Structure 1
Amino acid sequence: MSTAVAVTADEHQQQQLKKGIAEFYDESSGIWENIWGEHMHHGFYDTDAVVELSDHRSAQIRMVEEALLFASVPDDPAKKPRSIVDVGCGIGGSSRYLARKYGAECHGITLSPVQAERAQALAAAQGLADKVSFQVADALNQPFPDGKFDLVWSMESGEHMPDKLKFVSELARVAAPGATIIIVTWCHRDLSPNEESLRPEEEKILNKICSSFYLPAWCSTADYVKLLESLSLQDIKAADWSGNVAPFWPAVIKTALSWKGITSLLRSGWKTIRGAMVMPLMIEGFKKDVIKFSIITCRKPE
């Protein structure tokens, strides 16, 4: 009896999390697009580079290119991806970029109806309506058949997933034999062999961020690698790109504190304001090495 209740409570918690994520992005995506454009993710910068405000949008494009390069996604017309899924697609920036780059068909999924609708509108405006499509769907229960995609793309959505094993299992399920899987996500630092958990002061920083950004418990890059190994995926590689994203959060805060940013925030609603208030904690987390910006890639066996 108690087990049934526990499962129900867990399911309820996951439903509340999904609802919070959808509402957060319904509310905040318009502001983000207005200030930062169509890519709702970090930029990739040279370490210790002096960054101008105008550099950030090109850094977001560079993030996409660096991820493809790290995963050795081929440009060769005979081997390039033809079908792509963008898991946690935002307003479809990556989907449209990848569709154009490879001439591929791309399907994006998001929990936010506002994002899905805006992504589709942008695709139509950019002449890509026949190449990309977007829908509201759960990454933990994707509405696609097994083995459908030869590139599985998740750019900064893994941190929202309450069940990391289910998340990577779904990425692997929808991947075709030989397909590349790319996960770019926020992690906490890897634990040393004699540690069982993060230190209390580290947990405190992450918990504050979680409650404002609708994140479940964090995991480490090493945890992701173990999960991928448990699914017998091949060519597993991971890297810490924290140094390459260092200029991002200070720039986000700077834009949030601009007149345009402040007026947009005040119009948006409490969820977005609450998210803005914990941005300095992201910087603190990176500086204290508790937060890591990680890329993890692998290939599904042929």
Structure 2
Amino acid sequence: MSTLLYFVIGFLVVLVIGIGGYLLSARKYQSSNTVANSYDQWTNDGILEFYWGEHIHLGHYGSPPRRKDFLAAKSDFVHEMVKWGGLDKLPPCTTVLDVGCGIGGSSRILARDYGFAVTGITISPQQVKRAQELTPQGLNAQFAVDDAMALSFPDASFDVVWSIEAGPHMPDKAVFALELMRVLKPGGILVVADWNQRDDRQKPLNFWEKPVMQQLLDQWSHPAFSSIEGFAELLAATGFVEGEVITADWTKETLPSWLDSIWQGVIRPSGFLRFGLSGFIKSVREVPTLLLMRLAFGVGLCRFGMFRAVRANSRTELKDQNFANQTPSSSAALQNVNMN
């Protein structure tokens, strides 16, 4: 048997083992504890922060997209989101709730560059600890463990509610929408950025899209993705929205992030020395999911959705709750919440 054949057989064996390990080690969503544990682990090992910096979200590369430093693009995303949401016109000391704040990158920018009074919440205790460590004394940003599905704050607590890429972790999108709007003051602004699936009510997923989407859910503790259209409908269905929910698609602006995140591992080999073999294996393990994300967003299976809504002075009656993304529990939650 030739050396080449041995090599091919060996490569195929390693490939099969790698694929098997990838599939068997998936971090499937089971409960909020699954999400908290995943982020606790990612925060403790430090690998995600080393490569992704203080912002565990995608970057903004301009329109049309242009080459940009990966970490700079992430900071730019926050400023672009502020501008898109009209938050740059708000006065200092505006109160902001950052839902799914991670290790506080966005919260610190909102407090430092815009003078806002920011409260960041995450379900991960380790993320709260790290956010506090990274936040300079005197900066008006505080952090706490809280569940976005049942926020501990009273109704009408904040001038602004802000959230980046937290929605896919929420098991009931209608309840999530309701909680975001509930804690806004009348006249307050909701600004959300999220990973979304194509609206499958209009175009159902085909034979290859279904397994791809399943991996995107299973690998990173996501119970489901909403569509841009579906989540906008759920926000409107809360009865708290004044006028219309404004949406935008930032898929093109954020698309380079996926390959850029992989490229970080190539141009920053010091990570291997810092985290060793186990860290290298953990990093490589995420590459297939990042590539699947790039595929999904590149072909339109997934979209990067932006949402802006203003809280009405009084809650309107719900006229239509028959949305495809709603579950019976979602309808009950919308009907039973106290009228404000």
Please classify the TM superposition score into its range, dividing by the shorter chain length: 0.7 to 0.9
Q: Which residue in 2 is equivalent to 1:60? A: 74
**Structure 1 residue 32 displacement after superposition:** 2.2
Q: Which residue in 2 is equivalent to 1:33? A: 49
- Say whether 1:111 aligns with 2:123: yes
- Say whether 1:224 aligns with 2:231: yes
Q: Which residue in 2 is equivalent to 1:6? A: none
**Structure 1 residue 100 displacement after superposition:** 1.6
1:28 and 1:268 in contact (8 A); partners too = no
Unpaired runs of 5+ in structure 2? 1-27, 314-340
Identify which of 121, 127, 152 aligns with 2:137.
127
Q: Which residue in 1 is equivalent to 2:147? A: 138
Q: Which residue in 2 is equivalent to 1:9? A: none
Separation in structure 1 between the aligned mates of residue 37 and residue 201 of structure 2, nearest angstrom: 37
Identify which of 100, 103, 108 aligns with 1:91.
103
- Say whether 1:286 aligns with 2:297: yes
Separation in structure 2 between the aligned mates of residue 290 and residue 259 of structure 1, nearest angstrom: 33
**Identical pairs, percent:** 34
Q: Which residue in 2 is equivalent to 1:299? A: 310
1:172 and 1:300 in contact (8 A); partners too = yes
Gap change, CA 1:265 and 1:162, over 3 Å in 2: farther
Separation in structure 2 between the aligned mates of residue 208 and residue 15 of structure 1, nearest angstrom: 11
Separation in structure 2 between the aligned mates of residue 151 and residue 179 of structure 1, nearest angstrom: 6
1:23 and 1:112 in contact (8 A); partners too = yes
Q: Which residue in 1 is equivalent to 2:165? A: 156
Q: Which residue in 1 is equivalent to 2:334? A: none
1:183 and 1:296 in contact (8 A); partners too = yes
Separation in structure 1 between the aligned mates of residue 66 and residue 115 of structure 2, nearest angstrom: 35
Separation in structure 1 between the aligned mates of residue 111 and residue 32 of structure 2, nearest angstrom: 28
**Structure 1 residue 297 displacement after superposition:** 1.0
Name which one, 1 or 2, has greater alpha-carbon Rg. Answer: 2
**Structure 1 residue 254 displacement after superposition:** 1.3
Gap change, CA 1:146 and 1:76, over 3 Å in 2: closer
Aligned pair count? 280
Gap change, CA 1:291 and 1:76, over 3 Å in 2: closer
Q: Which residue in 1 is equivalent to 2:249? A: 240
Separation in structure 2 between the aligned mates of residue 60 and residue 154 of structure 1, nearest angstrom: 14
Alpha-carbon deviations, 1:58-110, whole Å to 9, x = none? Answer: 21122112112222224253xx5611111000000111111123322211111
2:29 and 2:222 in contact (8 A); partners too = no
Gap change, CA 1:135 and 1:284, over 3 Å in 2: same
Separation in structure 2 between the aligned mates of residue 84 and residue 271 of structure 1, nearest angstrom: 34
Q: Which residue in 1 is equivalent to 2:31? A: 17
Separation in structure 2 between the aligned mates of residue 74 and residue 112 of structure 1, nearest angstrom: 29
Bigger shift: 256-265 or 111-120?
256-265
Bigger shift: 32-41 or 215-224?
32-41
Identify which of 47, 51, 58 aligns with 2:67.
51
Q: How does 1:70-81 map to 2 (within 5 A)?
A: 70-77=84-91
Q: Which residue in 2 is equivalent to 1:147? A: 156
Bigger shift: 164-173 or 33-42?
33-42
Separation in structure 1 between the aligned mates of residue 287 and residue 276 of structure 2, nearest angstrom: 8
**Structure 1 residue 50 displacement after superposition:** 4.2
Unpaired runs of 5+ in structure 1? 1-13
**Structure 1 residue 155 displacement after superposition:** 0.7
Separation in structure 2 between the aligned mates of residue 160 and residue 153 of structure 1, nearest angstrom: 16
Separation in structure 1 between the aligned mates of residue 150 and residue 192 of structure 2, nearest angstrom: 17
User: The residue matched to 2:62 in structure 1 has which SS?
Assistant: coil
What TM-score comes out, normalization by structure 1 length? 0.85
Separation in structure 1 between the aligned mates of residue 303 and residue 35 of structure 2, nearest angstrom: 21
**Structure 1 residue 199 displacement after superposition:** 2.1
Separation in structure 2 between the aligned mates of residue 236 and residue 278 of structure 1, nearest angstrom: 31
Gap change, CA 1:176 and 1:183, over 3 Å in 2: same
